[in-house]
Amino acid sequence: MNLLKVNKSIAALFLLLVIFFDAKAQNKAAFENLKTVLKKIEKQHQVHFSYLEKDVAGVSVQSPAKEKTIESKIDFLIQETELNFEFITSNYIAISHKSKTTTIRFQLKDATNTIPIEAATIKINGSKNTITSDAKGLFEIDPKTVFQIEISHINYLSKGITINTNETAKPLNIIYLYPLVNELKEVVTANILTNGISKKTDGSLEIKPKKFGLLPGLVEPDVFETLKQIPGIVSADETLSNLNVRGGTHDQNLFLWNGIRLFQTAHFFGLISALNPNLAHNIKIFKNGSSAFYGEGISSVVDIATQNRDSEKDPTSIGANLISADFFTQIKIAPQTAVEISARRSHTDAFQSPTYKSYYKKIFQNTAISNVTNNEIVDYNNKENFYFYDATAQITQKINSKTQANLSLIAISNSLELNEFKTENDILVTKNSSLKQATYAGALSVNSYWNSNFRTELEAYASVYNINSTNESITNNRNLNQENTIVDTGIRIKNYNTISNTLKFQSGYQFNEIGIRNFDQINIPAFFRSVKEVLISHALIGELSYQSNNNKIKTTLGVRNNYMASLSKNSVEPRLQFHYNFSDSFSTEIQGERKSQLSSQVIDLQQDFLGIEKRRWVLANDADIPVMFSNQWSVGFTFKKNQWLVILDNFYKQVSGITSKSQGFQNQLEFLRINGNYTVLGTELLVQKRIHHFTTWMSYSVLRNDYEFESFNPSIFPSNFEINHNLTTALIYDYNQMKLALGSTFFSGKPNTLPLSTTAIFPTLDKPEIAYDLPNSSNLTNYFQINVSGSKSFKFNKNNVLTVGVSVQNIFDTKNNINQNFRINNNLNTIEKVDTYSLSRTFNAFLRCSL
């Protein structure tokens, strides 16, 4: 019995020892690295800890119970470690050693977006040693009674601070630095038309889509649709592939995306912007007085640049409307490497919404997709398959504190397949036609900051544009293949030099090689053409900017020396921007420029490329296609006070070297190839008023635009792109995540040429022709449309936002005649009128989620 009791006692003791050591083992296992514990707490409670690596290195602690509050967990960590924890804000906690409570710790932040500043240099006066801020903007200084520090960074204004350790009790002191770019006041006025559009002192308009409000008829901030709201910019046929700026043609505008020239600006052959509207972009628009670093584009410059997204609120966004769906995200794959990806694709090949049907009817009327007889549209028995997509990628790599590289890639594509069929002699006849339009491009840029006064930007880019069509006629066995291809490559070097607080000098060099190939092949009658042309140009640029200390005067004088090596031609092109503030509420600006352009679009035949995208790009040869030159001056005034904004611009523009083939004639000049010029004189007015959460505006432009073709009689007559009067009005409401927009567009009918008779004439017996009145001696009826849109955002937490919206274009279904031409009915020898109409009432809706 005694032995049994002993055995029981030993067993009990053994059990206790097992429990004890197991508990010890469990306790030991429960200890974790402090950084791991902090990350868990950050994720669970949405807080952020700030600390120096050496303060937490090697520290282990038990993980607090998950169900505890953040305050209880901090109290626990204070008891278990030799560290101080202090709430700087409700979700920002600073950590420091208890043994170093007198050590002064600092964090540097950007004053504009509160982003930590890395690699700043901190010098203590009286000491030869310097300190550098880490990736979180943190640095630490051993205490003295009173001392001074000097903080400097190549991208920020230097700052001196006097430190008194007796007065500094915080464990973390935040210091804000201002970027150098904010040293000079550049904004004349913000919120033109809507949020996110502002006017700059260089005369440009700047658009930031991510801060965009709402415009009438738009469900989302479509980049190129926005341009149509600006005075002086109009699209008489409603498309984004035919934007006319101050009377110029669409191809006379220079469109850039991250330094890459875009030869394709729209999807759906003109109705939808080719760029994802939800990308974080800055868009600068110059109607005149552009920088000498911009070549080509004699009418305007639209410079679209990707923004640094560190300050954006929605790094991931998913959305869809009744035409397409899109996606955007930003991924930081390494501390110094960030990747942005966006993609958008239409679902038109899977689902044909009412919006798609309305677009389809608008864009394909009077083309090879439909046959016009006696002013009625008769569809072929056909089946179409249409879709589009675009995708972008940008990689930002910070090489070191002074050098950063950016790689930008973009792809844009439209694809239309048309299967036509009919029964002939009990046999099914099928024909297949197609039209494909695509852009693939990339650019690599490297920015190097040599010191606070000098930096260099080096950029190389390549862009390929192609439009390819196959037209198999169902009425005969005629097949037509056409192709237009552009390869555009170049290198740019730009130096920024700050001479003083008031003077800046920029210089640079640009090399460009552009090759264009045109291909045509017909089987009946047999015809083949393949033409490839290449032009090389070099440009030297210099630009001097002055801004007075009191911000009253800002002026930039630039010159571009453009040598067209392939043509052995030189062009000296001065540029001027002058801005003067009479007072805080009234200013004036004078702008002028001379520019040249080597590439342009022409129309050989109206039925080219299925009659949908009739234009093809060609290069100047200084013979039948001359180099185009423009000279432009403008004088403007801006008044802003008591929520009123008035902008008045008067301008004169003269363009030489145009060809009749580039102007889209459909009258007696259609088949002529003659060269000439045009002159535009006009005035633009914008009046805007803000009342609480409402903004209302009226923009108006009036101009006269005349051609001059010396070899034609009459030699002077109105331009095809003369819109004498253009009026846009809107009323915007924006409050508490609710946005509503109501607006109207009115412009006078575009010039038109009428026939003198309803029957054809016969200069030769086998060739009937139309006898026309004087070119552009009449006008189409005036255009008028009312649009409405609205959106509402629902914020679920700090980062998750759901936005829904609707829009209606042409709410009253007004039937606007936007084009008219005439043709001969060969069976009756009569003249038929062909009318093209505007977009009918079109409803659209969208849903977007920001994560």
Work out the mean pLDDT of the chain and round it to a whole number.
85
pLDDT for res 21: 42
**Residue ending a domain, choose from 153, 183, 213:** 183
Q: Do 850 and 313 touch, CB atoms closer than 8 A?
A: yes
Q: How many residues does the chain have?
A: 851
Among the ranges given (28-32, 389-393, 669-673, 686-690), the one the predictor scored with the smallest mean pLDDT: 28-32
pLDDT for res 765: 79
Nearest to 193 by CA among 841, 647, 822, 810: 647
pLDDT for res 439: 97
Q: Please indicate, yes or no, if residue 62 is contained in any of the structural domains.
A: no
Q: Please indicate, yes or no, if residue 90 is contained in any of the structural domains.
A: no
Q: Which of 52-56, 227-231, 731-735, 744-748 has the highest mean pLDDT?
A: 744-748
CATH of residue 396's domain is 2.40.170.20
Sequential DSSP letters for 432-491: EEEEEEEEEEEEEEEEEEEETTEEEEEEEEEEEEEEEEEEE-SSSS-EEEEEEEEEEEEE
Q: Using the predicted structure, report yes or no on whether residue 523 has a pLDDT greater than 70.
A: yes
Q: Please indicate, yes or no, if residue 714 is contained in any of the structural domains.
A: yes
Q: Using the predicted structure, report yes or no on whether residue 12 has a pLDDT greater than 60.
A: no
| Residue 206 shares a structural domain with residue 174 | no
| Residue 431 shares a structural domain with residue 351 | yes
pLDDT for res 105: 81
Among the ranges given (345-349, 431-435, 514-518), the one the predictor scored with the smallest mean pLDDT: 431-435
**Residue ending a domain, choose from 183, 205, 232:** 183
Q: Predicted confidence band at 169 (pLDDT cuts at 50, 70, 90)?
A: low
**Residue ending a domain, choose from 148, 183, 218:** 183
| Residue 767 shares a structural domain with residue 833 | yes
pLDDT for res 191: 61
pLDDT for res 308: 53
Q: Predicted confidence band at 338 (pLDDT cuts at 50, 70, 90)?
A: confident
Per residue in 309-319, pLDDT tens? 444 445 788 99
pLDDT for res 311: 42
| Pair type for strands 300-306 and 253-257 | parallel
Q: Do 60 and 34 touch, CB atoms closer than 8 A?
A: yes
Q: Please indicate, yes or no, if residue 23 is contained in any of the structural domains.
A: no
Q: Using the predicted structure, report yes or no on whether residue 556 has a pLDDT greater than 80.
A: yes
Q: Please indicate, yes or no, if residue 739 is contained in any of the structural domains.
A: yes
CATH of residue 154's domain is 2.60.40.1120
CA pair distance 204, 154, nearest whole angstrom: 27
| Residue 304 shares a structural domain with residue 356 | yes
| Residue 557 shares a structural domain with residue 592 | yes
Q: Do 545 and 554 touch, CB atoms closer than 8 A?
A: yes
| Residue 114 shares a structural domain with residue 247 | no
| Residue 115 shares a structural domain with residue 249 | no
| Residue 148 shares a structural domain with residue 227 | no
| Residue 204 shares a structural domain with residue 173 | no
| Residue 608 shares a structural domain with residue 642 | yes
Q: Please indicate, yes or no, if residue 503 is contained in any of the structural domains.
A: yes
pLDDT for res 705: 97
| Pair type for strands 454-472 and 479-498 | antiparallel
Q: Please indicate, yes or no, if residue 365 is contained in any of the structural domains.
A: yes
The tally of domains found in the chain comes to: 2
Mean pLDDT of 69-79: 86
Q: Using the predicted structure, report yes or no on whether residue 799 has a pLDDT greater than 80.
A: no
| Residue 287 shares a structural domain with residue 406 | yes
| Residue 153 shares a structural domain with residue 260 | no
Domain range enclosing 150: 102-183
Task: Give this prediction's pTM.
Answer: 0.79
246 dihedral zone (left: phi>0; alpha: psi -120 to 50; beta): left
Q: Do 462 and 455 touch, CB atoms closer than 8 A?
A: no
Per residue in 658-688, pLDDT tens? 999 999 999 999 999 999 999 999 999 999 8
pLDDT for res 19: 43
Q: Please indicate, yes or no, if residue 32 is contained in any of the structural domains.
A: no
pLDDT for res 20: 42
